[in-house]
Chain A
Amino acid sequence: QSALTQPASVSESPGQSITISCSGTSSDVGGYNHVSWYQQHPGKAPKLMIYDVNNRPSGVSYRFSGSKSGNTASLTISGLQDEDEADYYCSSYTSSNTYVFGTGTKVAVL
């Protein structure tokens, strides 16, 4: 199972919006609505930000939203804040009853 493809880095100024893509196949992202997004700050454990494509866990800011089209899922962060600077990973359930993570995207707030 190959890792899902994400851009290596995205940067934007505070207050702006960014979108991170997560490209897979019909055996993972395209085949199931079980795509999650995780935020990871340096030296910390990942934190769930979005589950089942577009659902936010309790306590996660409304500025985070998710979507999916075909084999590509996306995470959008609106109103970018300094605290959003972190690594972001997508994850998907697969047809093999396994999971796969994306390659990860480093978000920089300029």
Chain B
Amino acid sequence: QVQLVQSGTEVKKPGASVKASCKVSGDTFSGNHIHWVRQAPGQGLEWMGLINAANGGTSYAQKFQGRVSMTKATSTSTVYMELTSLTSEDTAVYYCAREPSGTYNCDKWGQGTLVTVSS
């Protein structure tokens, strides 16, 4: 049974950075792409980017280019998403989701990490 377990709630000040984690279990880590999707309060889903767990290759939404970085630690089957220069508009729940490589859909999702940006 594939599971994605995300890190806990974060509270940050404007201008700071946040680094969320997503640990994958129950599957071959390198056989997946891990996507990050966020959802601001009362708003829709927004795709941020993905990382290829096999080779670390990334693809980011243009909106987040230069401000987001996705990395992996194969030894712990964990993916990280770092977002810098936070503003109140980055307050959201951040989800990681698993795409079996080459399938173009996310069949398993993490529980979400709430990031609140407030002075």
Contact = CB atoms under 8 A, between A and B. Distances in A.
A48 B47 contact: no
Contact of A98 (B45, B59, B111, B112): B59
Given A1-B61, A97-B59, A99-B35, A89 B45 contact: yes
A52 B100 CA distance: 13
Nearest to B108: A48
Given A45-B109, A45-B110, A46-B109, A98 B104 contact: no
Contact of A34 (B45, B49, B105, B107): B105
A46 B95 contact: yes
Given A1-B62, A97-B59, A57 B107 contact: yes
A48 B62 contact: no
Contacts of A47: 109
Contacts of A102: 44
A45 B91 CA distance: 17
Most chain A C-beta atoms within 10 Å of own C-beta, residue among B44, B49, B59, B107: B44
Contact of A93 (B61, B62, B97, B104): B104
Interface of B: 35, 37, 44-47, 49-50, 59-62, 95, 97, 103-107, 109-112
Interface of A: 1, 3, 32, 34, 36, 38, 40, 45-48, 51-52, 57, 87, 89, 91, 93, 96-104
28 contacts: A1-B61, A3-B44, A34-B104, A36-B104, A36-B106, A38-B45, A45-B110, A45-B112, A46-B37, A46-B45, A46-B95, A46-B97, A46-B106, A46-B109, A48-B107, A51-B103, A51-B104, A52-B104, A52-B105, A96-B62, A98-B49, A98-B62, A101-B44, A101-B46, A101-B47, A102-B44, A103-B44, A104-B45
